[in-house]
Amino acid sequence: MYALYTAVALIGLVTVWLPLALLRWLTRGVPLNARARLGGAAPSDAGRPSGWLHAVSVGEAIAAAPLVEGLRRLHPELPLVMTTVTTTGAQIVRERFAGLVTHRFFPLDFPSVARRVATSINPAFLICMETELWPNILRALASRGVPVMIANGRISDRSYRRYRLVRRFLTSVLADVRVFAMQSDEDARRIIALGAEPERVVVTGNMKLDAPVADPAGSVDLWRRLLGLRPGQRVWIAGSTHAGEEEPVLEAHRAALAAFPELVLVIAPRHPERTGEVLALLARRGWPSVRRSELPAAVTSASGPVPPVVVLDTVGELAMLYAIADVVFVGGSLVPVGGHNVLEAAQRRKPVLVGPHTANFREAASLLESAGAALVVRDASELSRELWRLLVDPDLRQKLGDAGYEAVASRHGAVLETLDLVGQYLYPGARS
């Protein structure tokens, strides 16, 4: 089965990944990082054993922050390497973890590449954030006796359906994982149903609930100045939007402008490469707009107010921008994508609007809904109605915001439990 998997992966590399990577390189200058992805990066820390953490992209890298801090506190002598798949994830790692971890791109999952990377990193252990399963990487590490943890593990409805199709093969892959630290009872049940040994599965909760809000003092005033906002000017944010969501967001914004003519909407596409697509949509609909990267210079030079729509074309700023919002809509939920992180807004005491498609963040969305901190909207009409209701009622906004903050605070503890598992299963003595 491993040979078949590797053959399929090679076909996918040649027919899908490589053409798309070349297209991004030719059209947008996105580097291929081919040498790093083939395991050709220099050995980590002169060949000393390292702690290896893997985070696919931005969200996983940010969620890993308290884990990185805990490992550095408990074992300052252990070099840490963090790998990402995406370039945006790499940017976050390099900016937020400078001096704490060394960044590398995650290698292509082929046997020879896996062996080369395992030799280069020389990991004492591997911690994969959420449920990242790379059969050849796991097999190469198992052959070296390197323990592996799935941390903050979750299995979405879509992933579960796909995994069940290859359960027989997946059982052998899961056998190479020492411990599964899952977010919820349902995630634990699913990983066991897929073949993980029950005694290796632990429910730790969601580490994103533990992530500290490290917005610096005065950040609200700073961000308002950076966006060119006037004192008291209202703002709402549509975060992590996907194709098909900007239109209902704009309909809701148009309706809200009738009552709040100075209201500003910040649209943050989930994938920054969609910025041009979103700007083109705004132009077709006749909406004046500006890129976040052009502010505040664009407003200063024009000597006029900020346009009614700002498009966030930068990486790593969305969570901090939530602090200036009156209302937050979290995207990926009006279309069947599965939703995105609703906790970042709740941690900043903001009322949350979310669509019905939240399978990827089922536990977090359910937590906020049950606490009365999030309102579910199913279409443009409901989004418009709830946005207006929140904008006109400051007491309601505060009620929802406080409820969300308290609900998140009540679920802290996942990071400490995960660090304890690291000490128990991966790196003796690493307990908190």
Q: Residues with Cβ < 8 Å from 321, sequence gap 6 or more?
A: 223, 237, 266, 268, 312
Q: Which residues pair with 102 in a beta bridge?
A: 81
Cβ-contact 299, 228 below 8 angstroms: yes
Residue keyed to tokens 């411990």: 179
Choice between 350 and 13, residue whose per-residue pLDDT is larger: 350
For the segment 365-377, the average pLDDT, to the nearest whole number, is 95
Residue 296, pLDDT score? 86
Q: Tell me which residue of 214, 218, 173, 213 sits closest to 196, measured CA to CA.
A: 173
Residue 430 has pLDDT above 50, yes or no: no
Residue 423 has pLDDT above 50, yes or no: yes
Which of 60, 363, 382, 386 does the annotation list as catalytic? 60
Q: How confident is the model at residue 305 (pLDDT cuts 50, 70, 90)?
A: confident
Percent of the chain with pLDDT over 70: 96
For the segment 20-47, the average pLDDT, to the nearest whole number, is 75
Residue 175 is encoded by which pair of tokens?
Answer: 């056998």
Q: How confident is the model at residue 304 (pLDDT cuts 50, 70, 90)?
A: low
Q: Residues with Cβ < 8 Å from 423, sequence gap 6 or more?
A: 74, 429, 430, 431, 432
Give the global pTM: 0.77
Residue 339 and residue 240: Cα distance in Å, rounded?
A: 9
Residue 98, pLDDT score? 92
Residue 45 has pLDDT above 70, yes or no: no
Residue 20, pLDDT score? 78
**For this structure, is 60 an active site residue?**
yes
Residue 180 and residue 195: Cα distance in Å, rounded?
A: 12
User: Half-sphere exposure (CA, 13 Å, Cβ side) for 401?
Assistant: 18
Q: Is 372 left (phi over 0), alpha (psi -120 to 50) or beta?
A: left
Residue 40, pLDDT score? 78
Chain centroid to CA 109: 22
Q: Tell me which residue of 321, 417, 414 sits closest to 363, measured CA to CA.
A: 414
For the segment 298-316, the average pLDDT, to the nearest whole number, is 82
Residue keyed to tokens 């409820």: 403
How many residues comprise the chain?
432
User: What is the side-by-side order of every strand in the sheet holding 80-84?
Assistant: 102-105, 80-84, 50-54, 123-129, 148-153, 179-182, 201-203
Mean pLDDT of the chain: 91
Cβ-contact 329, 351 below 8 angstroms: no
Percent of the chain with pLDDT over 90: 75
Residue ranges and CATH numbers for the domains of the chain are 36-210+412-426 (3.40.50.11720), 219-409 (3.40.50.2000)
pLDDT, one tens digit per residue, over 68-88 is 999 998 899 999 999 999 888
Residue 264 and residue 236: Cα distance in Å, rounded?
A: 7
Residue 239 is encoded by which pair of tokens?
Answer: 């975060």
| Range ranked top by mean pLDDT from 23-37, 292-306, 377-391 | 377-391
pLDDT, one tens digit per residue, over 208-236 is 888 767 678 889 999 999 999 999 999 99
For the segment 299-327, the average pLDDT, to the nearest whole number, is 87
Q: How confident is the model at residue 352 (pLDDT cuts 50, 70, 90)?
A: very high
What's the chain look like in SS3? CHHHHHHHHHHHHHHHHHHHHHHHHHHHCCCCCHHHHCCCCCCHHHHCCEEEEECCCHHHHHHCHHHHHHHHHHCCCCCEEEEECCHHHHHHHHHHCCCCCEEEECCCCCHHHHHHHHHHHCEEEEEEECCCCCHHHHHHHHHCCCCEEEEEECCCHHHHHHHHHCHHHHHHHHCCCCEEEECCHHHHHHHHHCCCCHHHEEECCCHHHCCCCCCCCCHHHHHHHHCCCCCCCCEEEEEEECCCCHHHHHHHHHHHHCCCCCCEEEEEECCHHHHHHHHHHHHHCCCCEEEHHHCCHHHHHHCCCCCCEEECCCCCCHHHHHHHCCEEEECCCCCCCCCCCCHHHHCCCCCEEECCCCHHHHHHHHHHHHCCCEEECCCHHHHHHHHHHHHHCHHHHHHHHHHHHHHHHCCCCHHHHHHHHHHHHHCCCCCC
Alpha-carbon separation of residue 285 from 270, 278, 280, 288, 344 (angstroms)? 21, 11, 9, 9, 30
